[in-house]
Amino acid sequence: MEILGYFASALIGVSLGLIGGGGSILTVPVLVYLFGVNPVPATAYSLFIVGATSLVGAVPKYREGMVNLKTALIFGIPAILAVYATRAWLVPMIPDRVGGFGDFVVTKAMLMMGLFALLMVFASYSMIRSDKGSPEETVTGPQQFNYPMILAEGAVVGVLTGLVGAGGGFLIIPALVLFSKLPMKQAVGTSLLIIAAKSLIGFTGDLSHYQFDWSLLGIVTSLAIAGIFIGNRLSRSVDGVKLKRGFGWFVLVMGIYILVKELYLTPAIPVAAIGH
């Protein structure tokens, strides 16, 4: 399982390099199911892995002029504040046993994986659906900002990132195109910088809450970073639209699997066990 985990770690970066997102959707399932990391700290691991990988991927995009720093700052500030607050205060406040339905108890770990699975299903839709009617690659005229929507979207993405440890690129990129009027390619590069900043800063909110396996964290991060270079190279010759749809179907299947596993295959905890 660990060997498969190392291979999947590289795919995290390959995905980010090929389609500008999706890597964070793989990270938590890889950590939980292949490396045996508890789901709650796995979301913290994911923040560091995705943040570091996105930062490395953003550097060549910046050199190519594909990163809009003003947009990254406007969108990134509320996102960073929201993700840090979520990791430092909101997540630790969630009880180990959230609630119960009859003889079944919803645990904190189950809640986190359930939220993540729902996010995967939602993300898969944005990858699979047709791109007809989407914004054009180029935008004419001066850049315009819809400040209220940018700030609101940044805060929502920040809370989501904090809860499930996902970068949220599939939410950020459309927001940048629609509300900041960025060309698609520039939106992808800007998104990588935003993901890097909010994920790494959000990770610092976890440092006092968990004991990290720094060796595992370093290995997975290094493989993901290597993967993003491979993905960048492959992106020049691979049909990005077809690849994105194929990856979307894979994410949909994984999301459904996690939901089924957490709801039906995970042993139930008797309600009477609460408090013991």
Give the pLDDT confidence score for residue 131 in this predicted structure.
53
For the cut 90, the answer to whether the pLDDT of residue 173 exceeds it is: no
pLDDT band at 137 (very low <50, low <70, confident <90, very high): very low
Nearest to 181 by CA among 68, 86, 22, 58: 68
pLDDT digits (tens, 9 = 90+) for 220-258: 999 999 998 888 787 777 766 676 677 778 778 888 888
CA neighbours closer than 13 Å in the CB half-sphere of residue 62: 13
- Between residues 253 and 179, which one has the greater pLDDT? 253
The mean pLDDT of 199-209, rounded to a whole number, is: 84
Is residue 274 within 8 Å of 100, Cβ to Cβ? yes
pLDDT of 145 > 80? The answer is no
- Beta strand pairing status for 104-107 and 97-101? antiparallel
Q: Output the six-digit token pair for 59.
A: 């550097």
Residue 136 has pLDDT above 50, yes or no: no
Q: What's the whole-number average pLDDT of the chain? A: 79
Q: 273 pLDDT band (50/70/90 cuts)? A: very low
Per-residue model confidence as pLDDT tens digits over 184-198: 778 878 888 988 888
Query: How many CB atoms sit inside 10 A of residue 35's CB?
Result: 20
Global pTM reads 0.74
Residue 49 vs residue 207, higher pLDDT: 49
What confidence score (pLDDT) does residue 60 get? 86
In the chain, where the domains are located: 2-92+110-261
Whether pLDDT at 274 is above 60: no
